[in-house]
Chains A and B, each alone.
Chain A
Amino acid sequence: MRRIIIVGATSAIAEATAREFAARGDALFLVGRSQEKLQAIADDLKVRGASKVDGHTLDLRDLKQLPAVLDEAAASLGGLDHALIAHGTLSDQKACEASVDTMLDEFTINAVSAMALCTELANRFERQGRGVIAVISSVAGDRGRGSNYVYGAAKATLTAFTSGLRQRLHSKGVRVVTIKPGFVSTPMTAAFKKGFLWASPQSVGKAIANAMIKGTPVLYVPWFWRWIMLIIKSVPETVFQRVKL
C-alpha cells in the first residue's frame, strides 16, 4: 500500500491519477483550496477502493503552512512515500504583462510553491531513504513562447528544479518524476478549441500513475509530445522570434 499526498488534488489530472491509486487500494491525503470539492473527491476515492482518504484545505501561496500540512499528512497516513504536486493555474498572459504583481503571483503559484514543497518532501524522503516525488510541469516549459511565457517560465523552472533534485536524490533511493503534459481537456483548458492533439485526463492520469510506480524520470504525456517539443526546441532563435506561437 502506497501512502500518497496529492497537492492540487481537485485538478482533473490529479483526480484521474488519484483514481488509479484508489483502485490499487492505496492511502491518499488530498490538498486543495475547495473543501467542498475535496470532500466529493474523497468520497469517490473511498468507493473506488482507497484504503484511506484524508485531506486539508489550503491556498498554496501560504508557504509557511507547508511543513505543517506534510506533518499532518504523514500523521494521518502513518507515513508518506509518494507525492504528486499537481496544482497550478493557467496564467492570463496579458494580465501578467500588464502587472508585475500579477506576474509574480502567478510565478509563486506555479513555481515557488512547488519548489518549496519539493524541498520539504526531498529532505523527509532522503531521511527515510525512499520515496517518489512527481511534479506536473508542462511541455510549455520546454521553450518560452510569446503567448504564455510567464506560465512557460514557471514550468521551465520546475523542469530544471526537478532535474537537479533527481540527481541529488538518485543515490538516496528517492525517485523524482517530471511530468510534461501536452494539451489535456480539463476545466483549466475549457475555453480552448479542442483538436486531435488533445488528451483526456483519464489517459493522462493512468500514464502518470504508471510513471510514479516505475520511477520514470521524465514523462511526456501523451508520448508524442516528446517529439513535437524536440522539433520546437530545435528551431533557431533567429527564426523562432519571428513566429507567432
Chain B
Amino acid sequence: MLAFGNGRSYGDVCLNDKGTLLSTRGLDRFIAFDPASGVLECEAGVLLKEIIDQFLPCGWFPPVSPGTAFVTVGGAIANDVHGKNHHRAGSFGNHVLEFELQRSDGRVLRCTPNMNREWFAATIGGLGLTGLIRKVKMQLRRVPGPWIRGDSHRFANLREFFQLARESDEDYEYTVAWIDCSAAGAHLGRGVFMRGNHLASAESPKVSAPLKMPLTPPFSLVNGLSLKLFNQLYFHRPSAQQDDALWHYRPFFYPLDSILEWNRMYGPNGFFQYQCVVPPDAAEPALKDMLAQIASSAMGSFLVVLKNFGTLPSLGMLSFPRPGATLALDFPNRGPKTLQLLESLDAITRNARGAVYPAKDARMSAASFQQYFPAWREFQAYIDPKFSSSFWRRVTGISP
C-alpha cells in the first residue's frame, strides 16, 4: 500500500500499480494552532491551500511554498518540497517540528529532530515509503499580508542569471527565474528574473475564481510554433522589466493554480516534467549544455523555472534539494523522441554529479536514481514492509 494525498506529483511516486492506495484527503482536520508562535498541528491530508485560507487572514503563511497550493502536508513532507525561498528557508522538512508515523504493524512513532530521529530523517523526502504520516506539527511563517513586493529583470544569458541570483539572495526572500528554452545561439539562457519580499498592506485582495481547462484538446497546444511565439512575447512583454512590482501571493507562488486542470493543454498524450539540480561549480556549463540540447530539439514548453538553491542542508535522507542551481521544465510527450532527450539531459546531470527530483519524475533509470541518491540502500531499512510505490519498484529494479 501507499498513501496518496492530492495527486499533484508529476510522476509515479504517488502511484502503486496493482497495489492499494490510501487516500489521505479525509485526514483534513486542524488539531491546534498557537496564534502567538505560529505553530500549527494538523492531520496530514490538509492542503497548503486550506492552511493559507485559514491562517493568512491572521498573518501566517506556509514556511515553504511549492508551485501549487493543492498539495497535502503529508505529501509536502514525503517529497520534502521546496520553493522560491529555498536560499533562505531550506525545504519543507526544515520547518516540521514533529509528526506521527503509522506503521503497518500497528506501531505509531512520534518523530522529531531529536526523538526517533532516524525515522524523522527517513520520512522527510521518504516518498511515503516509511509508513503513513498521520499528524504533523509545523512552524508557520509570520507575514504582514497577502502581497509580495519586488522587481523583475530580463537577463541575456546564464552568466547574468547567476549574477542576479548572487545579488538578490541577501535582500530578497523569494527569487526565481523564467527561461526561454526555445532561445539558442546568442540568446541561449535568456530569461526573466523575479524577486520579492512580503509586504504589509491594508488593501484586501480581490482575486478572480480559477478558470478551468474545459476539455482535453485532441492534440497538444504546446508545440514548436506556439512555444517560439509565446516565449518571444513573454520575454519582450513590458512587465518583464519592472523596478517596482506588486504581486498578490497567488499569481506569485501558484500561477498555475488559477487554471484548474491546466495539464490538459498538453493533449491526451500528456507531458513529462524534468527537474534537476546541479552543484554550483558545475552549474553554468551543465545548464548551458542542457538548454542548447532543448532548444535544438524544439520540444520544450514555456513552463521553465530556474532557481539557485541555498546551502541550508535538507533533513531528509533522500531529500532532493542540495546546493546548486535547479532547472525545471515541461516537455509535451512525443514518445521515444522525448524520452531520448530526457535521457540525454540525465547524462549531463549525472556528469555534473547532480540529481533529478523524484516527485517530478516518471522515467529516470534505476542507475541514474541510484547515483543521484546513494543513501537509497541505507534508506531501505526504514521502508514499511507493506508499503511500496510504482516509482520505488522502477528505480530499484524490483518487478511488481
Which A residues are closer than 8 A to B by beta carbons? 40-41, 43-44, 47-48, 187
Top 8 A-B pairs ranked by shortest CB distance?
A47-B30, A44-B29, A44-B30, A47-B33, A43-B31, A40-B29, A43-B32, A47-B32
Residues of chain B within 8 A of A47, CB atoms compared: 30-33, 54
Bound complex: CA A17 to CA B41 (Å): 22
CB distance from A48 to the nearest CB of B (A): 7
Instruction: Please indicate the chain A residues that have their CB under 8 angstroms from the CB of B32 in the complex.
Output: 43, 47
How many pairs of A and B residues are in contact by the CB < 8 Å rule? Answer: 19
Q: Which residues of chain B (69-111) have a CB below 8 Å from chain A?
A: none
Give the distance to chain A from B264, nearest Cβ to Cβ, in Å: 17
Closest to B33 in A: A47
Q: Are A48 and B31 in contact (CB under 8 A)?
A: no
Contact with A along B16-44 (1 / 0, CB 8 A): 00000000001001111100000000010
Additional pairs, 8, CB under 8 Å, beyond known A43-B30, A47-B31, A47-B54: A40-B29, A40-B43, A44-B29, A47-B32, A47-B33, A48-B30, A48-B54, A187-B26
Give every chain B residue within 8 A of A40 (Cβ-Cβ).
Answer: 29, 31, 43
User: What residues on A are CB-neighbors of B31 within 8 Å?
Assistant: 40, 43-44, 47
**Nearest CB of chain A from residue B130's CB, rounded to whole Å:** 23
Count residues of B near A (Cβ-Cβ below 8 Å).
8
Contacts of B29 in A (CB 8 A): 40-41, 43-44
Per the bound structure, the CA–CA distance linking A48 and B26 in Å amounts to 17
18 sample A-B contacts, Cβ–Cβ < 8 Å, listed by A number: A40-B29, A40-B31, A40-B43, A41-B29, A43-B29, A43-B30, A43-B31, A43-B32, A44-B29, A44-B30, A44-B31, A47-B30, A47-B31, A47-B32, A47-B33, A48-B30, A48-B54, A187-B26
Most buried by A among B26, B29, B31: B29
B interface residues with partner A (beta carbon < 8 Å): 26, 29-33, 43, 54
With a CB–CB cut-off of 8 A, which chain A residues contact B43? Answer: 40
Cα of A40 to Cα of B45 in the assembled complex, Å:
14
A47 to B41 alpha-carbon distance, docked (Å): 10
- When distances are taken between beta carbons in the complex, the residues of chain B under 8 Å from A187 are 26
User: In the bound complex, how far is the Cα of B30 from the Cα of A44, in angstroms?
Assistant: 5
A47–B43 Cα distance when bound, in Å, is 13
How close is A50's CB to chain B, nearest CB, in angstroms?
11
Q: Please, how many angstroms separate the alpha-carbon atoms of A20 and B271 in the complex? A: 38
Distance of A187 Cα from B32 Cα, bound (Å): 24
State A34–B54 Cα separation when bound (angstroms): 27
Shortest CB distance A143–B (Å): 32
Q: How far is the CA of A187 from the CA of B33 in the complex (A)?
A: 27
Name the B residues within 8 Å of A44 (CB-CB): 29-31
CA distance A41 to B54 in the complex (A): 16
In the bound complex, CA of A49 to CA of B40 (Å): 14
Interface centre among A40, A47, A48 (most CB of B within 10 A): A47
Shortest Cβ gap from A3 to chain B (Å): 22
How far does the alpha carbon of A156 sit from the alpha carbon of B177 in the complex, in Å? Answer: 61
**Bound: A47/B30 CA distance, A:** 6
CB distance from B214 to the nearest CB of A (A): 15
Distance in angstroms from B245 CB to nearest chain A CB is 32
A43 to B41, CA, bound (A): 10
Please report the C-alpha to C-alpha distance between residue A41 and residue B43 in the assembled complex, in whole angstroms.
11
Contacts of A41 in B (CB 8 A): 29
Q: What residues on B are CB-neighbors of A48 within 8 Å?
A: 30, 54
Q: Name the distance in Å between B102's Cβ and chain A's nearest Cβ.
A: 15
Chain A residues near B33 (CB-CB < 8 A): 47
Min CB gap A118→B, angstroms: 29
Q: Hey, which chain B residues are within 8 Å of A43, CB to CB?
A: 29-32
Interface centre among B30, B33, B43 (most CB of A within 10 A): B30
Q: How far is the CA of A211 from the CA of B32 in the complex (A)?
A: 30
Q: Considering the chains assembled together, what is the distance between the CA atoms of A187 and B23 in angstroms?
A: 12
A44 CB → nearest B CB, Å: 4
In whole angstroms, what is the CA distance A43 to B30 when docked?
A: 7
Q: How far, in Å, is B298 (CB) from chain A's closest CB?
A: 39
Nearest chain B residue, comparing its CB with the CB of A12: B26
**Closest beta carbon of chain B to A103's beta carbon, Å:** 31
A204 to chain B, nearest CB (A): 15
Distance of A49 from chain B, by nearest CB (Å)? 8
Distance in Å: Cβ of A201 to nearest Cβ of chain B: 10
Give chain A nearest CB distance to B73 CB in angstroms. 14
- How far is B27's CA from A187's CA once the two chains are assembled, in angstroms? 12
| B121 CB, min distance to chain A CBs, angstroms | 28
Query: A186's closest neighbor in chain B, by CB?
Result: B26
What A residues does B26 contact at CB under 8 A? Answer: 187
Bound-state CA distance A48–B31 (Å) is 10
C-alpha spacing A130/B336, complex, angstroms: 70
**Cα distance A44–B31 when bound, in Å?**
5
